[in-house]
């Protein structure tokens, strides 16, 4: 579990290492990097701007690139207990009619596990042995000097200034810390102008089956996690501004077939007092490395959820970076960080491009396009759609070799 610790306590331990490391952001990427470094014997300082763990968020489908990460952190068995195997994927037409069910285990099992897990459960899994973090801490300045990188903080209303040898920025797609170092560079952002609500419904007898409906002006996804089903119901901002209850009624009018699982999902979204709203946009930084500072996870490349690969790539990137740091010393750090970006950035952007292509295919308001899309999906399998992702899984990164 995440354990609140003062920044001074963390920094005292970090100063005993041969490299003082700061990780900004206690999300999936930041926690993964911190836990790996701690398993490797270092004591990074982990900070989080929120005052607590924050909103548990949404459901995740994790592909096999996370298997080695979980193995190295020592939580693989705990992960298997907290997640559920995703063996099948069902695709519905815009009317609700099931068009096809593809066997996901045939597609991905050759590479490892494909499992569903709630974001909160994943954080709980990654921090099973404890994870020190300083909450309510924000970076206000980063400056390189001859001896290191000076970082200014505000924590619980007090100002601090500490020096580090490496700063890892992992505070999300809307990273404020990233803005401090970008200078004249700008982050590329894709805004689909769609968004939707995340909610949960009860488990059923098909807990190996994920389902999606690509409707005319709406999207409904139902994804199994341990003990429940995650639900995402979305549409254009123009349409969803009426609120979840009214939007659900609009969706029901467009469907001619509503199975019990879909009905339960729609009812829960409509009746939820405060469902989490997720704007569907991504970002891509023009570079990842700035002197002794490096971007990680969504701060480097934030994903649309359409390919279900963002969290997995963030965890893989954290693993690649920390494995390279295993071979790094202060005099080789700059070169090693450049090697990290050269190795991992093309992989991440390939996966991100897949998510972007799927978004252009999925998010439409036109009934005619929805009909044509349904006809096309009768003949296009999930395996074909995820071919670029399969290529990434088949060609795993080797950070030890690069380092």
CATH number for the domain that contains residue 176? 3.50.50.60
Asked if residue 265 belongs to a domain, the reply is no
Domain range for 16 is 2-189+281-402
What pLDDT score does 160 carry? 87
Domain membership of residue 203 (yes or no) is no
pTM comes to 0.94
Residue 325 covered by a domain: yes
- Residue 151 in any domain: the answer is yes
Q: Which residues contact 354 (CB under 8 A, 6 or more apart)?
A: 307, 309, 386, 388, 389
Backbone angles phi, psi at 371, to 5 degrees: -65, -50
- Count structural domains, the chain: 1
* Residue 24 near residue 30, CB atoms below 8 Å: yes
Task: Please list the residues that pair with 220 across neighbouring strands.
Answer: 213, 233
Quote the CA–CA distance of 29 and 349 in Å, as a whole number: 16
- Structural domain includes residue 246: no
| Residue 258 is assigned to a structural domain of this protein | no
Quick check: is 209 in a domain? Answer: no
Distance, CA of 62 to CA of 295 (rounded, Å): 21
Contact of 117 with 79, CB cutoff 8 Å: yes
Strand 149-155 to 158-164 pairing? antiparallel
Got the DSSP string for 222-243? EEEETTEEEEEEEEEHHHHTT-
- Write the DSSP assignment of 264-322 as a string of letters: HHHHHHHH-SSPEEEEEEEEE-S-SEETTEEE-GGGTEEPPGGGS-HHHHHHHHHHHHH
Burial bucket for residue 117 (CB in 10 Å: 0-12, 13-18, 19+): buried
- Residue at 216 is within a domain: no
Nearest to 269 by CA among 306, 298, 232, 215: 232
Q: Mean pLDDT of residues grouped by 10 in the chain (403 residues)?
A: 90 94 96 96 94 73 94 96 94 92 83 92 94 93 87 90 96 93 85 94 94 93 95 95 96 95 96 90 95 96 91 96 90 92 95 90 79 72 74 87 73
Please give the pLDDT value at position 380. 66
The reported pLDDT for the residue numbered 303 is: 94
How many separate helices (H) and strands (E) can be counted in the chain? 16, 21
Q: Which of 246, 273, 251 is nearest to 263 (CA)?
A: 251
Write down the pLDDT at residue 379: 65
């Amino acid at each position: 579990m995440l354990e609140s610790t003062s920044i001074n306590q963390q920094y005292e331990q970090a100063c005993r290492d041969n490299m003082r490391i700061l990780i900004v952001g206690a999300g999936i990427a930041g926690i993964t990097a911190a836990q790996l470094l701690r398993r490797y014997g270092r004591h990074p300082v982990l900070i989080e701007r929120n005052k607590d763990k924050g909103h548990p968020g949404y459901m995740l489908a994790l592909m096999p690139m996370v298997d080695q990460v979980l193995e190295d952190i020592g939580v693989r068995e705990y992960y298997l207990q907290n997640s559920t195997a995703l063996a099948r994927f069902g695709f519905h037409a815009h009317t609700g009619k099931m068009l096809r069910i593809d066997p996901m285990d045939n597609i991905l099992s050759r590479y490892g596990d494909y499992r569903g897990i709630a974001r909160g459960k994943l954080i709980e899994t990654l921090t099973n042995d404890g994870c020190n973090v300083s909450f309510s801490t924000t970076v206000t300045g980063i400056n390189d000097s001859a001896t290191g990188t000076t970082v200014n903080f505000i924590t619980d209303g007090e100002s601090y200034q500490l020096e580090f040898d490496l700063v890892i920025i992992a505070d999300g797609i809307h990273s404020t810390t990233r803005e401090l170092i970008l200078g004249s560079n700008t982050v590329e952002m894709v805004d689909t102008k769609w968004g939707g609500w995340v909610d949960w419904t009860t488990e059923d007898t098909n807990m190996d089956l994920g389902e999606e409906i690509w409707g005319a002006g709406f999207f409904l996804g139902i994804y199994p996690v341990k003990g429940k089903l995650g639900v995402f119901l979305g549409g254009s901002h123009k349409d969803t501004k009426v609120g979840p209850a009214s939007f659900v009624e609009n969706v029901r009018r467009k469907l001619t077939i509503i199975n019990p699982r879909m009905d339960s999902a729609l009812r829960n979204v409509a009746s939820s007092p405060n469902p989490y709203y997720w704007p569907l946009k991504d970002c891509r930084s023009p570079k990842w490395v700035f002197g002794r500072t490096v971007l990680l996870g969504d701060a480097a490349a934030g994903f649309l959820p359409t390919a279900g690969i963002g969290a997995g790539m963030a965890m893989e990137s954290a693993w690649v970076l920390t494995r390279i740091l295993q071979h790094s010393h202060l005099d080789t750090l700059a070169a090693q960080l450049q090697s990290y970006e050269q190795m991992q950035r093309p992989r991440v952007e390939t996966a991100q491009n897949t998510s972007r292509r799927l978004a252009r295919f999925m998010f439409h308001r036109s009934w005619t396009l929805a009909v044509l899309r349904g006809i096309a999906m009768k003949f296009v399998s999930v395996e074909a759609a995820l071919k670029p992702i399969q290529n990434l899984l088949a060609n795993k990164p080797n950070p030890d070799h690069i380092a």
